[in-house]
Amino acid sequence: MSSFESIKSAISSKNYPAVAVLYGEEPYFMKELAKRFENSVVPEEAKDFNQHILYGKDTSMGEVIQRARALPMFSDQTLVLVREAQHLSKQLGELESYLENPNPASVIVLVMHQKSLDRRLKVVKRIEKEQLLFESKPIYENKVGIFLDELLRNKGVELSNKAKQLLLFSISTDLSRYEREIDKLIIADPNTKSFDDTHIERHVGINRQYNIFELTKALSEGNRKRSASILGYFAKNTKDHPPIATLAVLYPFFTKVFRLHTLSNPKDAPKALGISPYFLSEYQSAARNFPMKRLTKIVSSLRELDLKCKGVGGAPGLNDQQIYQDLAMYLLG
């Protein structure tokens, strides 16, 4: 199966398949490849006649094939791109006859937002062997930093380390949001090529002094005063910092710190913990300040607090201020 980079290269070289099927859980890579097909196959002046953007709900595989069979007008090629093509998954078999004699002047691109595709099907096997089949898989957290660096290179801009860390910690693995936020920065300051955390606060809306990244950093460093200040800010601004969202970060954070204690080779940490190398030093600092015995109590308390927050299993519900009071007691007590 072709990789994202090899497909980008093939499109840039105008080496197009007759049929491309893009599917999987991660929308970003499918969207990017679809955009590249749109920008490359048919020249701008010929798109009205030769570029057909369809939607799976509103079309059929028969119509897709019919449009692909037509000869292009005032252009060398025709593009038939189907968004939300998962609605045509049961009609994929109809492509078999088309693949016997595809139109060399047409490119069919099916963008299927579905987790899996039955690759035992004859038509799917044939597309994988002779045409293009791409599975868009989510990337692990420890690879997101590499993705962000590549995105910044492509956009021609830079971020300071702190700005990068703010985005990585706040956005995690939502790849499409990284592009949206970087584009916001560029649109807001088109003459700027290097952005720092002040730009992130101003244009992305992440408070650079009081955010979940600053909280974990303060906790990792053993800075009780700073940690208490951030928790206090969160307690007064629960609309922007709901405790359930804070717990959703703190529980896995301390779980990974606990696991870090058990690793025999620290070099394996990013992969073993599934974290970005950008944050390894923070986890190492937390491991120094939180021994395993204390971590065991913290992880257990955070899990119990999360249940109370959700009212699960008959656990009494707490209001937001009480949750933050309990958090401060568990983490700083």
Contact 10, 119 (CB under 8 A): no
Q: Work out the average pLDDT over 302-316.
A: 75
Q: What is the CATH number for 43?
A: 3.40.50.300
Examine the domain organization and report whether 132 and 145 are in the same domain. Answer: no
Domain finish residue from 115, 136, 157: 136
How many Å apart are CA 252 and CA 265, to the nearest integer?
A: 21
Quick: pLDDT tens for 55-78: 999 999 999 999 999 999 989 999
Examine the domain organization and report whether 97 and 110 are in the same domain. Answer: yes
Q: What is the CATH number for 163?
A: 1.10.8.60
- pLDDT at residue 47 is higher than 80: yes
Examine the domain organization and report whether 239 and 149 are in the same domain. Answer: no
Would you place residue 313 in the very low, low, confident or very high pLDDT band (cuts 50, 70, 90)?
low
Examine the domain organization and report whether 19 and 112 are in the same domain. Answer: yes
Examine the domain organization and report whether 108 and 162 are in the same domain. Answer: no
How many Å apart are CA 275 and CA 143, to the nearest integer?
A: 8
Please give the model's pTM, rounded to 2 decimal places: 0.79
Domain finish residue from 184, 204, 224: 204
Examine the domain organization and report whether 180 and 97 are in the same domain. Answer: no
Examine the domain organization and report whether 119 and 20 are in the same domain. Answer: yes
Examine the domain organization and report whether 12 and 108 are in the same domain. Answer: yes
Would you place residue 240 in the very low, low, confident or very high pLDDT band (cuts 50, 70, 90)?
confident
What share of the chain has pLDDT > 70, as a percent?
A: 98
Quick: pLDDT tens for 144-184: 999 999 999 999 999 999 999 889 988 889 999 999 999 99
Instruction: Give the CA angle between residues 329, 332, 333 to the nearest 5°.
Output: 60
Examine the domain organization and report whether 29 and 101 are in the same domain. Answer: yes
Examine the domain organization and report whether 172 and 260 are in the same domain. Answer: no
Q: Work out the average pLDDT over 107-122.
A: 94
| DSSP letter for each residue of 150-194 | HHHHHHT-EE-HHHHHHHHHHHTT-HHHHHHHHHHHHHH-TT-SE
Would you place residue 205 in the very low, low, confident or very high pLDDT band (cuts 50, 70, 90)?
confident
Question: b/e for 3-19, b at 16 or more Cβ within 10 A?
Answer: ebeebeebbeeeebbbb
Examine the domain organization and report whether 309 and 270 are in the same domain. Answer: yes
Residues 6 or more apart whose CB falls under 8 angstroms from that of 262 comprise none
Query: For 178-182, 265-269, 294-298, which range has the lowest pLDDT when averaged over its residues?
Result: 265-269
Q: Which run of H or of E encompasses 134?
A: strand 132-136
Domain finish residue from 136, 152, 185: 136
Domain extent, residue 192, equals: 141-204
Examine the domain organization and report whether 148 and 132 are in the same domain. Answer: no
pLDDT number for residue 320? 87
Structurally, the chain folds into a number of domains equal to 3
